[in-house]
Amino acid sequence: MSLFAIGDLHLSLGGDKPMDVFGGAWSGYVDKLRAGFRAVDEDDTVVLLGDLSWAMHLDDSKEDFSFIAELPGRKLILKGNHDYWWTTASKMLRFFEENGWDIGLLHNNCHFYGNTALCGTRGWFFADTFSDAGDEKVFNRELIRLETSLKAARDGGAERIFVFLHYPPILKGRVCEEMTSLIEKYGAERCFYGHLHGGARTRAFEGEYNGVEYRLLSADHLNFVPKKIL
């Protein structure tokens, strides 16, 4: 039994936004994902770090989630900035259950993988890039969601805490202190994030900062092979 993570599948199996048009690493990405998931067994867990489907509505995401569900392992998902289909937790869980898919949500909660708590939320842009008060509101809500998740880990007696975000809380030379200090406050060991693709990956910070290990796990960064993290 192992724990894996990967972000940014950007599927469009029922739509018209396949990423192959970008060429390069994204050419044949659906087949690459299918092949990459051969590393995963049915009794493993895979955390998917947002930007999963280009669908605009949950009903239109069926082919994408059918593909995700058929890949091996139990899936835990969090929201990315392109997940417009994301709706209430109850609607999403009912949708997954009605289709017989073993997909859970990492949203205002935490999940336990043995004694390790899997915490997370979407995150947001860096404060100095906010364009209006709306950004600040979203950012503050994301901080509350992350803390809710971390508190659930602490209250549940977690021995180790891993944090999963869509947006990077740290880049080379830039730190979102509000996020990283929360991660540190609750003693999380590792933090995994996605969102950065192609050339933007050169901005990614990967390594240790204030005792926490940060890693970028967007699909193209991993060559579409889920990363084993435990």
| Binding of Fe ion by 79 (CB under 5 A) | no
**Can you list the positions of beta strands (E) in 97-153?**
103-105, 110-113, 116-121
Site string for Fe ion, 110-139 (x = CB under 5 A): ------------------------------
Q: Least distance in Å: CB of 155 to Fe ion?
A: 30
Q: With CB under 5 A as the contact rule, which of the stretches 30-38, 85-93, 117-125, 188-196 interacts with Fe ion?
A: 188-196
| Binding of Fe ion by 80 (CB under 5 A) | yes
| Binding of Fe ion by 83 (CB under 5 A) | no
Of the pair 51, 64, the CB lying nearest Fe ion is at 51
Cβ atoms of residues 135 and 160 within 8 Å: no
Q: Least distance in Å: CB of 8 to Fe ion?
A: 4
CA distance 62 to 95: 9
CA distance 7 to 127: 23
Q: Least distance in Å: CB of 198 to Fe ion?
A: 10
Cβ atoms of residues 167 and 135 within 8 Å: no
Of the pair 146, 158, the CB lying nearest Fe ion is at 146
**Can you list the positions of beta strands (E) in 7-86?**
45-48, 74-77
Place of tokens 């901080």: 143
Enumerate binding residues for Fe ion (CB under 5 A): 8, 51, 80-81, 195
